[in-house]
Structure 1
Amino acid sequence: MTEHLYQPILDHFKNARILCVGDIMLDRFVYGSVDRVSPEAPVPVFHIKRDLLALGGAGNVVRNLASLGANVFFSSVIGQDESGRMLESLIGAEKTVRSRFLVDEHRHTTTKTRFIAQGQQMMRADQEQTHALTSVQESDLFSALKNEVESVDVVILSDYGKGVLTPNLIQDIIKHASELKKPVIIDPKGRHYEIYNGCTLLTPNHKELAQATGYPTTSDEEVSKAASILLERVSVQHLLVTRGAQGMALFSRDEGPVFIPSKALDVFDVSGAGDTVISVFAAALACNANLEVAAHLSNIAAGIVVAKVGTAVVKVSEIMDAIHRDMGEDTKETHLLTWDQARDKVMLWHQKGLKVGFTNGCFDVLHPGHLKLLNEAKSQCDRLVVAVNTDRSVSALKGPARPIHSEQDRSVMLSAFDCVDIVVAFDQDTPFELIQHLRPDVLVKGSDYTVDTVVGAKEVMGWGGSVYLVDLKQGYSTTSIVAKISSGSRN
């Protein structure tokens, strides 16, 4: 497999048209601390600092597809409640996604709330009602998506067992898609896979395969036997079995198995990895990739996403970078992280209970004043994010003769300091949007500011953070250094 094979497929992900139907959930992550035991009962007192809302279940499949640039039509069922409205808002924020929700006034939208302190999940609280759709609701939902099947390349059914994908609805969708020669890929749930008869491909993980067949799935031989048994029992053409650290395996009725070793370098969180697999596989299939190529791309994507925190997503650029590394090519070294890469790092640090600091500036010609700021900033936190103005932004602030050093060179020099953990660039007039994106715990600026004038201070303090002002080292500034150089002065 070479870049020349993968690149055209990845380039066309933006043209992929995919219908996704399934159980959507609202994932809520509540971060805080536990410092004492309640006097009312022998339970910890959880002090809430911040929370995060995210699309879960089939919604995470949609997030992954949107991250790949694919065009998506999504349909599901929500309750007539605040969680349902939040899901509509989150889906609406995805630019390449259209949606149609069936609102069930008798159903509570599935909501999973995780409480996390000191890097550990303390508890998960679920609100949900998982009764199956009525026949009328089945008919209404099928009518809402029936016409969409004709205009897409691939259909995904994401079954989380919450009642949306009833056996009747599944078969209606499969039969209609088959008539139009549209492949149907299903992430299955439960033991009885007969409800998926007629689909193109199932994507169980090895534990689900063992549960469905009653056979072990540890070794290559065992997973091959279990897959063979399932293909005998269920009328499906292919199986893509995800196997965690062992990678994945593709089984087809008329061909031998294809075993693909894992590409994961680090594993922080396997949550949602199956959603990434089915999303990349479907997008590749929509771009006319064959099954083996689609499986290899899915495996690469899975290796990327498990190195992130929570139900993360993967981008086409990340897949291509991983392919270059796998081929032994030297990709262009960069010390600048993207905003999303920086957010993944911050989320990981927060999961571990670490305090994250943030400071920003042009940092054009580094001097002792900068070093004092950075060292003091690091003394206030466990991990320090430094945000640098882009070249365009520096020119807008300082004039057309600046910057002296490019943003890439400035990031290289900043990254060389032990006190700096990551560097990220911002092109806006202020770092306000970046601060909101990363949600640090401590904002650090020089004492020429006041707390009231520090950009983002109100927001950071609002989610439980703080602001720290560093006494400036007198006599140092990039502007004065540049002026001295220009004049030839040594003083």
Structure 2
Amino acid sequence: MSEPLAEALDRLPSLRMAVVGDLMLDQFIFGQVDRISPEAPVPVVHVRDEEARLGGAGNVARNAAALGLGHVELVGVVGVGKQGDELVRLLDTSEISTTTVLRDAERLTTVKTRILGGGQQVVRIDRESGTEMPARLVQKLVEVVDALQSDVIIVSDYAKGVVSEPVMDALRRKQSAGVPVVCDPKQGDFSLYRQTACITPNAREAGAAEHAAVDSDARAESVAGRLRTRLQTSMILLTRGEQGMTLLVDGSAPLHLSTEATEVYDVTGAGDTVIATFAALLGAGATPELAARAANAAAGVVIRELGTATITAAGLREAVGPV
């Protein structure tokens, strides 16, 4: 491992990170299917177990906390009631600060319930507020962002209402003050994320934003370059699934990284691991190239495990090896 990367990892315990975005509760109902219902042509699932996990921005924060950062806090909105209580409990268990999570009786906690039978997903049930975030909550979110004392900020947008133009304006003020803001985009209009340090779209999202296929290194460079210029960002980290990732930084040659996984069991949450690792190391003083290499190595570890896995700083040191 290079000395600069080792030094950045050593600084993680003193790093303060905020994750701004849409909080979700992922519920899993595991069961067995052995017959079709006589009421309708659907399987009957006999429930064996249930589990709740952090989803959305919560899983990004969970990945950051697993790296051993000194302080990780979430900025978002959840409803009141048992689902919101369960989400906050999971955050507390993961040592993620919830003092900046707004609880509101008029908003539903976003819950995605997956029913699995024999290891196969039978159906997914979504509960979420179908209306825009009210102005009073948007203003509260802006006030919370303005008051953040963070070394680095991640925007984890799932298009559920937290990430809006006023909130991004507040985040751009942080960027102007020297706090790197790294955005994982979900909304089709990428101009929302302009003038931040970095955006981390996947190939499909970037291609849709620029109306172009991202199916080769050359096209990845072209699309990332157009995005960086149009959005006035310092860098683009383009995740490309089995083709690895491409980093484009102003003033530097493009960096193409091949995937490091020799066996892939589950890609769920790998993007959350990438942005958490990349942003944490940027905040700790690593160069974008070193941060990207480490994030790529981290992704190679977590996709070899089932479920939304995380990686520790010690695991990352081992995975990175000499750089």
C-alpha change, 1:98 and 1:107, in structure 2 (3 Å) is closer
Per-residue CA deviations over 1:39-79 (Å, capped at 9, x if unaligned) read 21221110001011010000001110111111112110011
| Structure 1 residue runs without a partner (length 5+) | 328-491
CA distance in 2: counterparts of 1:6 and 1:288, whole angstroms: 9
Check conservation: 2:248, 2:255, Cα contact below 8 A: yes
1:119 aligned residue: 119
Alignment partner of 1:21 is 2:20: yes
Check conservation: 2:269, 2:309, Cα contact below 8 A: yes
**Residue identity matched to 1:161:** A
CA drift of 1:81 comes to 2.6
CA drift of 1:25 comes to 0.2
Check conservation: 1:131, 1:162, Cα contact below 8 A: no
Per-residue CA deviations over 1:171-208 (Å, capped at 9, x if unaligned) read 22212x03421111000112211111111100001111
Check conservation: 2:31, 2:49, Cα contact below 8 A: yes
Q: How does 1:263-412 map onto structure 2 within 5 Å?
A: 263-324=260-321
Q: How does 1:101-180 map onto structure 2 within 5 Å?
A: 101-148=101-148, 151-175=149-173, 177-180=174-177
1:58 aligned residue: 57
CA drift of 1:264 comes to 1.1
Alignment partner of 1:79 is 2:79: yes
C-alpha change, 1:234 and 1:323, in structure 2 (3 Å) is closer
CA distance in 2: counterparts of 1:249 and 1:305, whole angstroms: 19
CA drift of 1:97 comes to 3.2
Which residue, out of 194, 198, 217, partners 2:195?
Answer: 198
C-alpha change, 1:194 and 1:64, in structure 2 (3 Å) is same
Check conservation: 1:3, 1:323, Cα contact below 8 A: no
| Structure 2 residue runs without a partner (length 5+) | none
1:238 aligned residue: 235
Check conservation: 1:130, 1:161, Cα contact below 8 A: no
CA distance in 2: counterparts of 1:242 and 1:83, whole angstroms: 32
CA distance in 2: counterparts of 1:203 and 1:47, whole angstroms: 40
2:88 aligned residue: 88
| SS of match in other structure, 1:99 | coil
C-alpha change, 1:129 and 1:96, in structure 2 (3 Å) is closer
Check conservation: 2:157, 2:187, Cα contact below 8 A: no
Per mean C-alpha deviation after superposition, the further-off stretch among 124-133 and 155-164 is 124-133
**Residue identity matched to 2:172:** I
Check conservation: 1:171, 1:196, Cα contact below 8 A: no
CA distance in 1: counterparts of 2:260 and 2:287, whole angstroms: 20
| SS of match in other structure, 2:186 | coil
CA distance in 1: counterparts of 2:205 and 2:133, whole angstroms: 24
**Could you tell me the percent identity over the aligned residues?**
37
| SS of match in other structure, 2:161 | coil
CA distance in 2: counterparts of 1:127 and 1:228, whole angstroms: 38
**Residue identity matched to 1:284:** L
| SS of match in other structure, 1:256 | coil
| SS of match in other structure, 1:162 | coil
Check conservation: 1:132, 1:166, Cα contact below 8 A: no
CA distance in 2: counterparts of 1:182 and 1:252, whole angstroms: 17
CA drift of 1:96 comes to 5.2
2:11 aligned residue: 12
CA distance in 1: counterparts of 2:4 and 2:197, whole angstroms: 23
**Residue identity matched to 2:271:** G
TM-score (structure 1 length as normaliser): 0.63
